[in-house]
Structures are given as C-alpha cells and as structure tokens.
C-alpha cells in the first residue's frame, strides 16, 4: 500500500540507527557522570537524571537533544538553585568543550553543544504532584508517564508523527514556532493509537478540541470554562490543571489539520521533507514584481535567549502592522526573521507604498460641545481640501495628507514613540533602517531565503 511505502521511507529518514542511539547515550552518560562528580559540592542536589526524548527513545534524527535534569531539595530558595545550576552547568559543559550559554525559559538553564548535539542542563525541584514549585518540576513525571504507557511498537509512530510535524513546519513549542511540543505529540499518539489513526483524527478536528486521556473531567463544558478561548486543550495526565497545548497557536493548529487532510488525500514523502531554501536573486526579484513590501531591519545590541528575542520580535511585528493599518495602509501579511545572533527584520506586505493625496477626517457630532471648535479649526485651514460637511450627525473634513510615503510615516511614528514595540527592542529598532526596496533587503545573504518564503507565502506541504 502506498501510504505504508511513504511511512517506511520517512522512518528511514528520521529513525536513528542503533549506532546513533549508542553514541547519544554514551554522551548522556558522560554528562551525568560528570554532574554526579560535581554534585556532592552542592548539598541541595538530590539526584541527576536523563529526561526528554532521549530518555523516552522518541527523538528523531536531526533533532537530537540531551536533557539532563538536576533535582534540588525543595527547601532551597529559588535564587540559590538558579545560581547553582548556572555554575554547575557551565562547569560540566566547559569540561566537555560544550560552549555553554545561559538560557532563560521560566527560569535559567544552561545550554551547550557537544559534537553538534544540543545539551541542556536544567534545574528542577524534587517534589511530588501537585506541589509544583517551578515550571520544570513536571518534566520528570512526563518522562515517566510516557515510558510507562508507551507500548514498544508505538515508538516508531511517535517518530513518524514528529517527523511529519517537522516537515509541515508545526513542530516545536518555542515562541518562534508556537507549535507542538514533543510531549504533546507523544500524548496525541497515546490517545489515538498509531500514526494513521492520529492523522485521521486530526484531519477531522474542528476547534475547540478536547483530549483528556486520564478522564479527569466529567463534562466538556467544565473543561471549556477552565481553558477559555484555547482551540486545542490536552489535559496533562500529570497535572489536571494544565493544558499541554496552551502554547499552540491557532495558525499552527490549522496548518496541522490541513496537512493531515492533504496527506490522507494523497500521501507523499514531501510532507516529511522541508523544501530546500531558494536564494536565487532573480527568482526573488521576479516573484516580488510590482508588489509592495516594507521592512524594518535592525541589529541587536546584545545577545538574548531565542525565546525572549522571538517574543519581542512578534510583539514588535504586531505593533508595526497595527501602526501601518492605523496610518491607512492595508497590511496583507507580516512576518519576522532573525539569525538569533545579530540581525532582525520585520517584514510586511502592503497594498501601496503611498497614501492617497487626501484623507477623510471625522469630527464630533453636531450636538457635541467641541463641534464649533472643530469648525473654527478647519474653516480656513490650509490643510483643508473640502468641508466641513455633515453626514448623519457627524462633521467631516477632507484634509490633505502632508506626508504620503510609507517609510517616512512609519519612521516618524517609531521615532515619536507611537508604536507599541517590545521594550527590549525599542532602541535597536530606532537605530535600524526602514526600506521598501527589495534590493536593500537582499544584500544580506542569510535573509534571502526568508524573503523568498515570505513573498511565496506557501505552506511547506503544498
């Protein structure tokens, strides 16, 4: 059957070999060994464990990560735990030549890279449910839950599902993606049974979707009331008050639904393979043609963890978009990109790069005290083109638009602080550049692929 051929091919691509597994487990053991060597120096450290996809044997090739958890006594204050995990993490990763870097999710952890494998050294409190003290305390319970419930033959199906999500661009709970986490994917598989059943179920999803594996709740209404306005609700088997899918955006959820429908209609390996990036200048130029883009390009004055940076970027993108709409432009689409080191861009496609020569300006209703002032202000105003006239009960004038160029207009709004940019980026954006020239943008080679994807705006699986 063709669908099984596709799945076998995908498994070839993504299922790690025994050698690869051994290599990763050796690395994990080496780190744990090292951690156990240092931990007696910290009297609050109770144990060191391997967590995440490696512990559950559900990782896929290309997404290898070693998650080492350091369990602290629940009596130690938060700040001390944070200090100690940073110190310990740096020591271990330096020993192993792992280029340690301080990261922040809900609390600090240390990330490194050894032989091109991402290593995370994370602190958690050693607690029993539901007495969570920090966001990472649940993770060991998640690992244990999946290992206990997972039938051996389901491992491949989880890997297929993760590979499918990677191929369709919806995998990852980080703010950059706002998609499906590994744990969430594993729960979906436990709930539906195998890859095809899961895809079939997803293809029929219509939000809101509720999945409550442990049947903690008796009624749908109860769940909906508790998790208001969340399109996908997957009750955490380890904590009935938590929605494992709370980070999933409506967009990524919809993309997965659509991908599932399309895959069932005509299964193909392309759903598992991201398209190669296109960076030929001529292709991009031809694609852009007469369309109107505006980009805000800026340099980061200091490094920050990707989740922080992407959060700030998305907020600023939304603010730029709203400002353009407020100024009178139609924003068809917007997106952001960053190399996560130095360069950022907020890019919008707009209907026009100039405003019309005139603008309708609404005044108060005639019976409002200010209406006489409005008339005085506009009667002999050189910016008046027509009016004041009355429509229904309101005064209107048609005024000259003194500045019509989108670049100048947006620049002024940013300079004068009328754009709700993320605080952490305001200064960098003010020093940045606003351009409507595709050539200016494409001088940065790394940006080209992003720009092509932006102007093509096609889903990876179509």
Contact residues toward a copy of itself (CB under 8 A) are 205-207, 231, 250-251, 253-255, 257-258, 261-262, 265, 289-292, 330, 332-333, 349, 351-352, 356-358, 360, 365-367, 371-372, 375, 379, 385-396, 398, 455-459, 462
> For residues 147 and 386, which CB has a smaller minimum distance to a copy of itself in the complex?
386
> For residues 281 and 386, which CB has a smaller minimum distance to a copy of itself in the complex?
386
Q: Tell me how far, at minimum, the Cβ of 144 lies from a copy of itself, in Å.
A: 35
Q: Tell me how far, at minimum, the Cβ of 353 lies from a copy of itself, in Å.
A: 10
> For residues 24 and 447, which CB has a smaller minimum distance to a copy of itself in the complex?
447
Q: Tell me how far, at minimum, the Cβ of 363 lies from a copy of itself, in Å.
A: 11
Residue in the structure block whose two tokens are 């009960």: 393
Long-range contacts of 112-117 (CB under 8 A, 24+ apart): 114/27, 114/66, 115/27, 117/24, 117/27, 117/64, 117/65, 117/66
> For residues 415 and 456, which CB has a smaller minimum distance to a copy of itself in the complex?
456
Token code pair at residue 174: 């980080």
> For residues 258 and 442, which CB has a smaller minimum distance to a copy of itself in the complex?
258
Question: Could you give the C-alpha distances from 265 to 254, 258, 420, in angstroms and in order?
Answer: 17, 11, 44
> For residues 261 and 407, which CB has a smaller minimum distance to a copy of itself in the complex?
261
> For residues 183 and 329, which CB has a smaller minimum distance to a copy of itself in the complex?
329
> For residues 291 and 326, which CB has a smaller minimum distance to a copy of itself in the complex?
291
Cβ contacts of 355 within 8 Å, gap of 6 or more:
327, 328, 329, 401, 403, 404, 406, 409
Q: How far apart, in whole angstroms, are the C-alpha atoms of residue 282 and residue 288?
A: 10
Token code pair at residue 41: 């120096």
Q: Tell me how far, at minimum, the Cβ of 366 lies from a copy of itself, in Å.
A: 4
Q: Tell me how far, at minimum, the Cβ of 178 lies from a copy of itself, in Å.
A: 12
Q: Tell me how far, at minimum, the Cβ of 25 lies from a copy of itself, in Å.
A: 39
Q: Tell me how far, at minimum, the Cβ of 279 lies from a copy of itself, in Å.
A: 18
Q: Tell me how far, at minimum, the Cβ of 27 lies from a copy of itself, in Å.
A: 38
């Amino acid at each position: 059957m063709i669908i099984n051929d596709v799945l076998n091919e995908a498994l070839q691509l993504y299922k790690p070999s025994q050698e690869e597994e051994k290599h990763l487990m050796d690395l994990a053991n080496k780190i744990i060994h090292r951690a156990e060597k240092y931990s007696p120096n910290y009297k609050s450290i109770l144990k060191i464990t391997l967590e995440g996809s490696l512990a559950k044997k559900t990782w896929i090739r290309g997404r290898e990560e070693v998650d080492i958890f350091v369990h602290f006594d629940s009596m130690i204050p938060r700040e001390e735990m944070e200090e100690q995990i940073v110190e310990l993490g740096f020591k271990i990763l330096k020993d192993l030549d792992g280029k340690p870097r301080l990261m922040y999710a809900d609390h600090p952890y240390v990330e490194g890279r050894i032989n091109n494998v991402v290593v995370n050294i994370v602190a958690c409190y050693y607690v029993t449910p539901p007495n969570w003290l920090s966001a990472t305390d649940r993770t060991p319970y998640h690992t244990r839950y999946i290992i206990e419930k997972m039938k051996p033959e389901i491992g491949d199906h989880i890997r297929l599902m993760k590979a499918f999500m990677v191929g369709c661009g919806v995998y990852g709970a980080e703010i950059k993606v706002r998609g499906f986490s590994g744990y969430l994917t594993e729960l979906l598989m436990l709930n539906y049974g195998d890859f095809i059943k899961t895809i079939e179920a997803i293809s029929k999803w219509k939000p809101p979707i509720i999945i409550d594996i442990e049947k903690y709740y008796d009624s749908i209404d109860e769940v909906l009331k508790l998790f208001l306005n969340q399109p996908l609700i997957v009750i955490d088997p380890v904590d009935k008050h938590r929605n494992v899918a709370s980070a999933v955006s409506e967009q990524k959820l919809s993309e997965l639904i659509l991908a599932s429908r399309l895959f069932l209609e005509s299964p193909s390996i392309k759903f598992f393979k991201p398209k190669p990036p296109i960076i030929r200048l001529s292709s991009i130029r031809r694609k852009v043609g007469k369309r109107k883009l505006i980009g805000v390009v800026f340099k980061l004055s200091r490094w920050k963890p990707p989740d922080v940076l992407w959060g700030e970027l998305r907020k600023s993108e939304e603010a730029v978009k709203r400002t353009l709409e407020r100024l009178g432009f139609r924003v068809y689409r917007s997106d952001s990109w960053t190399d996560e080191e130095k360069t950022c861009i907020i890019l919008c496609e707009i209907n026009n790069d100039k405003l019309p020569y005139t603008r309708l300006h609404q005044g108060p209703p005639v019976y409002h005290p200010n209406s006489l002032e409005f008339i005085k202000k506009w009667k002999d105003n050189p910016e008046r083109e027509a009016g004041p006239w009355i429509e229904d009960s309101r005064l209107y004038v048609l005024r000259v638009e003194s500045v019509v160029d989108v670049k100048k207009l947006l620049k002024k709004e940013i300079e004068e602080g009328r754009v709700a940019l993320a605080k952490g980026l305001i200064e960098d954006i003010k020093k940045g550049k606003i351009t409507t020239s595709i050539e200016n943008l494409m001088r940065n080679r790394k940006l080209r692929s992003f720009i092509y994807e932006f102007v093509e705006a096609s889903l990876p699986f179509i």
